[in-house]
Structure 1
Amino acid sequence: MEQVELRFDHASQASQTHTNLSAIRQSSTGLWIAGDETATFEHLTWTGDHYGAQRTFRLDDYVTLPAGPEDEADIEGMARANGYLWLVGSHGLKRKKIKSKDPEKAAERLATVIREENRFILARLPLSHDTEAPGPGSILAGSTNLTAHLKDDPHLGPFLALPGKDNGFDVEGIAVTPDRVYLGLRGPVLRGWAVVLELRIEDAGKGRLRLREPYRKHFLDLGGLGVRDMCPDGDSLLLLAGPTMDLDGPVRVLRWRLGRKRPGIVPADELEAVVELPYGVGCDHPEGLARLADGRLMIVYDSPSPARITPAGGVLADVFTI
């Protein structure tokens, strides 16, 4: 394993983007990267010994966000395919956290569930081959968002009313092939089986995307873990598997070869173990992965340990040869 520094500007450090990284993809000159606490995404350029020269892009400059530009979009996955950059929100509800300074209201806060509309988005932005700067994009959001299509689904519908960190519906990864969009779900995990959605998305005009029915569900035996991110790897998908609940636990990368054996059901013996990842106690949670052009695998972490923070205000990502 090697480590490489991702160096962020003062504004991103102030907003803690570098400690909330959730999605990553390689670009022609560096990395596309996003945190889950803002409505922006970033580009870092390879400088020779680190990724830096950060450029920040406001998502609302390219698509119309349901709740406007200031509310967080909880971007949990990115894909780069077919000349587009794709970004997906968690599509999940949020339960309020207990605040130690106000313990008498703890039970009241735990009973409060919030829906933030910017989380319920799937965006597609065209990329220029010359500059890698996005152009005006299209979005699946609002009354036709993904969860609207799933409300009567026998497996997933019952979990739409649960917060993501309570084993509720929670999108955490995206991978795009020439004609399909795959979404990996952190939750729900159904009796130990994780879920990946296979979608067909088309342009609906006027800056909108449309989901073509029917969608497909794939149930994967990840040993009780959920999907925390995913990326293409030739004719396979690499899955970052980790705990679905808010806890520390095993995290590993698995290879799923598409199109094998029983459609929709992927037992453990059809998943190839690629690498076991380090994780911390209360920190260092692997959240994003990308297959690099040289074949190596880059992993970024949410809540990084202090040892990952560099003097220049950057954060260290891990790079594995697989």
Structure 2
Amino acid sequence: MLESFADWLVFGLAGLPSEAHWGDAVHFFVYETMKIGLLLVLVTHLMGLINAYLPVQRVREWIASGRLRGSEHLVASGFGAVTPFCSCSSIPLFIGFLQGGIPLGVTLSFLITSPLVNEVALALFIGLFGWQVTLIYAASGILLGTVLGWALGKFRLGRFVEDWVWDIAEGRAEQAESTQKSLWERLPSVSREAMGIVTDIAPYVLAGLAIGAGIHGYVPTGFFEQYLSGGNPLAVPLSVVLAVPMYANASGILPVVQALVAKGVPLGTAIAFMMAVVGLSLPEAMMLKKAMQTRLLATFFGAVGVSIIGLGYLFNLVL
């Protein structure tokens, strides 16, 4: 419905030419802005409601108690795999988890896997590349989130999360301890808080989407084919670098991956390109910059980027 409305708004009402690069770029920007904006509003309100009734201290104690027997990162990564969110729409959940008392490393496991693996993308993957490649991809995405979340959690990086995230979490904890309000009574404050988060990160989202729209409209597929051929030993890291400025969800980028493979790009290189597009996008980085200090953001992107490059080389060997 949103895409049809964007078609009418850009190509119908505004009369922009659909065959022109700039018309395609404007359509991409309008559609993605509406989609991400709607998701941000819904998810921030949902997480606000959940956190309003979530006993923060009990959650912390439950995770620290060891009842998950060390599998908390795998559980978070698995939850990311079954949630149909792109990287940008996963970020409000990431912030909400931190505000709810979930450790940073466990939360990062969710954030890494969520855009990489979802049921829609896997269904398309099976149709395009078969169940064996799909199984390897899904397992790799979940394993990547599990291992990296665990490893990053060992470095005590919570001090590099912006103070406003922790301030909201502390305020919720104090409110929960001091009074018990009904849902109707809490709804106005939850809504104000949710819209405050949306307002804070909106400029970063719009700036990132504008850059992504320009690349989407003006960079042809052939540009990537030229540099990502099997004869280039640096094709895998180059594919990751070229993918970062782009933005798309896993379902949207899969047809591009199929086209690259059909043009002779090795499958592992194409998958690394896809992972970087959906998991290391510039809009995601600009949104995360609002919640993360530069050191944490660079560590997160660097670790995920290096891991995707390693997986790309591995896929080229085994697939």
Asked whether the two chains share a fold, i.e. TM above 0.5, the reply is no
Which has more helix, going by share of residues?
Answer: 2
**TM-score, normalised with respect to structure 2:** 0.24
Which has more strand, going by share of residues?
Answer: 1
The structure number with the bigger radius of gyration is: 2
